[in-house]
């Protein structure tokens, strides 16, 4: 069967068929998630060993979880992957065995894809999921007859309850080539000579495989230009019109399925109706209750990501500072110490700190997906968001962006349409995230006296709310603009199954959390660590002579540490950059001190507060003043008046509202879009927007 | 013959044909074949999208997509 001892097994099935649950049951935590090359489709590969019953030999088996699809004809990038892996024998993941997972309660529709895959003549096993459930409903499936008619082994399973998994593994070892190699649809009859010509080109392809390639060879990335040229010739020679024949094929396939099911399945007299699902839908898609419940769910998610995650984040924060304290004390003072503590450990801390938020958000998303509620959310919100180039599925990424953009960007993966997914990812970081809060709090307190009121409202609070609104409105408007700018060949469909409600499968929830945390820590973490080290080097190194001079100057000063830190930062490379960009940021009302803070806070927005505090420590040897007092007492050297006028503060706030001041978000956007193109575009447009907004605000007010 | 999008909530109909060839393929793969019985089961709060039940499951689509499906109403 396989060239080596390893067997490669592809899992294929409709969306909501329980495919991922089966994948988890087969492979456990032994999984790897990556991207397929060049596109943003999750590639999930897992492994397990299967013991042969007779010889007790252990056989290495690799499973690949293919994206869910309703047929082999690709209509999106996800579906194209399934098509390519199964139909192109040269594809690196081309399987030795296919497991087709089929929802027993939806047999007719599932068999469309299943019989297509069987027609490719790769050895197949049909895993009949949730068989026990429909038997309880009184439905009878004649398994032996079904096996005979399909020509492949049929194994009843329940992936959630882990029933039948052992049998399925044994079936993989015992799988046989199909004896009867006739297609379910007489495909040769549809386009006789074409099939033979293609088979001459690609030997051993089954009739149906040849037909599939004729329909979709243009989407196969592994085919050479030469091969494609030859196929072009064959297509034009036979005047092959793919779309028309695909339609005929589908109609005939369903006819064959109808016949087959008539013999193999028996429904009880009073056939089932999903009364529970109907009752729940009456409430959950209700014009008033539906939205009210959805708002409640959103509120809960927001609470979790925003406040519940604070406790674990605090623990992480404390452990990281204990660790850096420990390392600082146990290593000799010097550059290495500083690199490890301020560069690497600080960078690591900056990554791990996001884990609770990611875990909480994906726990909720997994529950919403698994219960079937997510498709209802799309259903009730689609109309509202469609006009802005977003879809019903954008609402959760968008609103969770108000807590933190990183998990929000990751959650955009549930949006099936590429364009809507990209637009959502592009605008999510405009939402006011938690890291902007310390910046806003500081600046608002400087701009507006605490006691100032507008009617009965506290003006500080109102301003804060205003900035949340600015974030949301700009996200929506930019999305609307991008709808016209971003071009996509992929059509946006909303044709979507609304699955019956189920109780959540906690194992799936758990695996989702593990998977997402792993993706973030490993894929985005690498980039974040690299940028952290660069930022650390920029702010701790400068021309050596300058640094020595500072040390010498303050040799005999008491409490010099604070002043030295401040002056060193000023003459570091970050300081030099800050000073050299001063002419560019001067029209926004910023000086070089703010320039330095803009650079260092690229690590994370809240770093702004710390950097400002360090820089403005000059002349405050005891370091007793609060940061607000330090900033307020700073004078403009030209006018002699306070430097932080309301105009400067507002300009700075607007800058932080729009600018992409977060390396972790850029890193995760890189990971999620599989390249630097989109993060670069995002960085540029957000910076431009920030500059423009600050420029206008400052010039008007000053 | 009517457009699927013109049908009222709760009506039953039989699919006749499609006007959008590409969308028709997707719909057919999901079980919406000519001759298949459907039931308008649900409309979203803003009247769009709609959800129909077909061969034992619930399928949602936008009104614009439903417009491409011609049906014969069952009275």
**Residue A659: its pLDDT value, please?**
94
Q: Is the same domain home to A692 and A548?
A: yes
- Is residue A450 domain-resident? no
Q: Which of B34, B44, B51, B52 has the highest number of chain A CBs within 10 A, making it the mutation to test binding with A?
A: B44
A278 inside domain: no
Instruction: Give residue A272's pLDDT band: very low, low, confident or very high (50, 70, 90).
Output: low
Of chain A, the percentage scoring pLDDT greater than 90 comes to: 40
Q: What ipTM goes with this model?
A: 0.95
Residue A238, domain member (yes or no): yes
- A209-226 residue pLDDT tens: 989 988 888 888 888 888
pLDDT of A539 > 50? The answer is yes
What's the pLDDT tens digit per position in A467-520?
A: 989 999 999 999 999 999 998 877 778 888 999 999 999 999 999 999 889 988
The pLDDT of residue A395 is 87
Q: E strand or H helix at A689, and its extent?
A: helix A677-701
Nearest CA in chain A to B28: A250
Q: What would the mean pLDDT of B38-67 be, rounded to a whole number?
A: 92
Of A83-87, A421-425, A486-490, A696-700, the poorest mean pLDDT is in: A486-490
Q: Are A224 and A300 within one domain?
A: no
Of A250, A384, A491, the CB nearest to B29: A250
The confidence score (pLDDT) of residue A558 equals 67
Residues A314 and A363 placed together within one structural domain of the fold: yes
Residue A177 — pLDDT band, cuts 50, 70, 90?
Answer: confident
Q: Look at B33 and A251 and tell me if their CB atoms are within 8 Å.
A: yes
Res. A373 pLDDT band, cuts 50 70 90: very high
Boundary of a domain, candidates A483, A510, A537? A510
Same domain? For A83 and A165 the reply is yes
Q: Tell me which residue of A695, A321, A642, A611 sits closest to A439, measured CA to CA.
A: A611
Asked if residue A230 belongs to a domain, the reply is yes
Task: Let me know whether A207 and A102 are in one domain.
Answer: no
Instruction: Map residue B45 onto helix, strand or coil.
Output: coil
- Nearest CB to B28; choose among A250, A498, A499: A250
Residues A25 and A59 in one domain: yes
One CATH from 2.120.10.30, 2.30.30.90, 3.40.50.10800, 3.40.1080.10 for B2-74: 2.30.30.90
Confidence of residue A227 (pLDDT cuts 50, 70, 90): confident
CA A105, distance to chain mean position in Å, is 31
Interface mutation vs chain A, best among B40, B45, B67, most A CBs within 10 Å: B45
* Residues A641, A677 within the same domain: yes
Do residue A247 and residue B27 have CB atoms under 8 angstroms apart?
A: no
Residue A227 lies in a domain: yes
- Across the range A29-45, mean pLDDT stands at 79
pLDDT at A509 (0 to 100): 93
Judgement on whether residues A497 and A594 belong to the same structural domain of the protein: no
Residues of B with CB under 8 A from a CB of A: 21-31, 33-34, 41-42, 44-49, 51, 55-62, 65
| Average pLDDT score, chain A | 87
| Judgement on whether residues A304 and A215 belong to the same structural domain of the protein | no
Whether A383 contacts B49, CB under 8 Å = yes
Overall number of domains in chain A: 4
A691 or A52, higher pLDDT: A691
What kind and span of H or E run contains A373? helix A373-386
| Together in a domain, A361 and A311 | yes
Domain end position, chosen among A114, A146, A173: A173
Same-domain pairing of A151 and A220: no
Q: Is A452 domain-assigned?
A: no
Cis peptide bond prior to A269, omega within 30° of 0: no
B26 chain-A contacts, CB cut-off 8 A: 70, 75, 493, 495
**Which of A482, A510, A538 is the endpoint of a domain?**
A510
What pLDDT shows up at residue A4?
54
pLDDT at A622 over 70: no
Q: Which residues of B touch A277 (CB under 8 A)?
A: 58
- Average pLDDT (A14-21) is 91
Q: So what's the pLDDT on residue A221? A: 82
Q: Would you give the distance in Å from CA A400 to the centre of its chain? A: 13
Residue A126 belongs to some domain of the structure: yes
Lowest mean pLDDT among A517-531, A542-556, A653-667, B23-37: A542-556
- A399-410: buried (b, 16+ CB within 10 Å) or exposed (e) per residue? bbbbbbbbbbbb
Flag whether A279 is in a domain: no
Domain residues for A201? 187-266
Asked whether residue A614 carries a pLDDT value surpassing 80, the answer given is no
Do A531 and A566 lie in one domain? The reply is yes
Average pLDDT over residues A290-309: 88
Which chain B residue's Cα is nearest to A386?
B62
**Residue A499: closest C-alpha in chain B:** B58
CB atoms within 10 A of CB A283: 12
| Choice among A29-33, A164-168, B51-55 with the minimum mean pLDDT | A29-33
* pLDDT confidence of residue A8: 94
Q: Are A652 and A443 in contact (CB under 8 A)?
A: yes
């Amino acid at each position: 069967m396989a060239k080596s001892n390893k067997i490669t097994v592809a899992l294929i099935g409709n969306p909501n068929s329980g495919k991922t649950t089966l994948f988890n049951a087969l492979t456990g935590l032994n999984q790897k998630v990556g991207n397929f090359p060049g596109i943003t489709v999750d590639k999930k590969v897992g492994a397990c060993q299967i013991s042969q019953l007779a010889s007790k030999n252990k056989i290495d088996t690799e499973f690949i979880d293919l994206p869910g699809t309703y047929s082999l004809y690709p209509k999106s990038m996800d579906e194209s992957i399934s098509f390519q892996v199964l139909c192109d024998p040269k594809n690196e993941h081309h399987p030795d065995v296919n497991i087709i997972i089929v929802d027993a309660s939806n047999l007719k529709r599932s068999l469309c894809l299943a019989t297509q895959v069987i027609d490719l003549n790769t050895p197949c096993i049909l895993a009949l999921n949730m068989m026990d459930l429909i038997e309880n409903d009184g439905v009878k499936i004649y398994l032996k007859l079904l096996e005979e008619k399909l020509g492949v082994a049929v194994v009843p399973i329940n992936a959630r309850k882990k029933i039948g998994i052992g049998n399925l593994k044994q079936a993989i070892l015992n799988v046989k080539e199909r004896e009867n190699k006739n297609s379910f649809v007489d495909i040769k009859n549809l386009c006789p000579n074409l099939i033979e010509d293609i088979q001459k080109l690609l030997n051993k392809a089954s009739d149906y495989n040849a037909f599939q390639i004729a329909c979709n060879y243009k989407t196969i990335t592994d085919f050479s230009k030469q091969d494609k040229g030859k196929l072009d010739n064959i297509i034009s020679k036979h005047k092959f019109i793919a779309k028309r024949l695909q339609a005929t094929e589908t109609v005939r396939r369903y006819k064959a399925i109808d016949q087959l099911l008539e013999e193999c399945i028996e429904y009880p007299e009073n056939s089932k109706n999903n009364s529970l699902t109907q009752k729940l839908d009456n409430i959950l898609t209700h014009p008033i209750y539906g939205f009210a419940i959805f708002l409640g769910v959103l509120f809960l998610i927001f609470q979790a990501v925003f406040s519940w995650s604070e406790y674990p984040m605090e623990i992480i924060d404390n452990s990281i500072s204990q660790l850096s304290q420990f390392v600082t004390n146990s290593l000799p003072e010097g550059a290495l110490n500083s690199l490890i503590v301020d560069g690497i450990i600080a960078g690591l801390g900056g990554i791990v700190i996001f884990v609770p938020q990611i875990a909480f958000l994906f726990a909720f998303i997994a529950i919403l997906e698994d219960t079937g509620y997510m498709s209802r959310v799309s259903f009730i919100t689609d109309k509202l968001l469609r006009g802005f180039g977003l879809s019903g599925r954008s609402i959760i990424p968008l609103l969770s962006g108000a807590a933190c953009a990183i998990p929000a960007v990751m959650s955009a993966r549930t949006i099936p349409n590429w364009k809507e997914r990209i637009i959502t990812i592009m605008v999510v970081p405009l939402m006011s995230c938690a890291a902007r809060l310390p910046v806003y709090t500081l600046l608002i307190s400087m701009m507006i006296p605490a006691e100032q009121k507008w009617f009965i409202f506290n003006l500080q609070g109102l301003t804060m709310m205003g900035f949340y609104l600015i974030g949301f409105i700009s996200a929506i408007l930019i999305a609307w603009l991008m709808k016209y700018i971003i071009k996509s060949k992929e059509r946006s469909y909303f044709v979507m199954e609304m699955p019956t409600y189920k109780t959540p499968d906690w194992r799936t929830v758990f695996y989702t959390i593990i998977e997402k945390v792993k993706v973030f820590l490993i894929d985005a973490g690498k980039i974040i660590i690299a940028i952290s080290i660069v930022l650390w080097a920029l702010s701790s190194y400068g021309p050596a002579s300058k640094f020595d001079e500072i040390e010498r100057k303050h040799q005999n000063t008491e409490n010099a540490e604070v002043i030295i830190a401040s002056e060193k930062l000023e003459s570091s490379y970050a300081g030099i950059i800050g000073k050299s960009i001063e002419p560019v940021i001067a029209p926004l009302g910023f000086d070089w001190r703010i320039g330095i803070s803009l650079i260092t806070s690229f690590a994370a927005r809240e770093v702004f507060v710390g950097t400002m505090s360090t820089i403005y420590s000059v002349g405050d040897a005891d370091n007793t003043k609060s940061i607000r007092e330090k900033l307020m007492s700073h004078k403009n050297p030209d006018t002699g008046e306070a430097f932080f006028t309301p105009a400067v503060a507002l300009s700075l706030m607007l800058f932080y509202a729009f600018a992409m001041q977060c390396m972790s978000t850029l890193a995760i956007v890189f990971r999620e879009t599989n390249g630097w193109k989109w993060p670069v575009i995002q960085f540029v447009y957000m910076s431009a927007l920030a500059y423009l907004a600050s420029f206008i605000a400052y010039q008007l007010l000053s | 013959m009517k457009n699927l999008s013109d049908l009222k909530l709760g009506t039953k109909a039989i699919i006749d044909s499609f006007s959008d060839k590409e969308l028709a393929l997707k719909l057919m793969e999901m079980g919406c074949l000519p001759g298949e019985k459907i039931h308008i089961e649900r409309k979203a709060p803003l009247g769009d999208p709609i959800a129909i039940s077909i061969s034992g499951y619930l399928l949602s689509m936008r009104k614009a997509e439903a417009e491409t499906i011609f049906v014969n109403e069952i009275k």
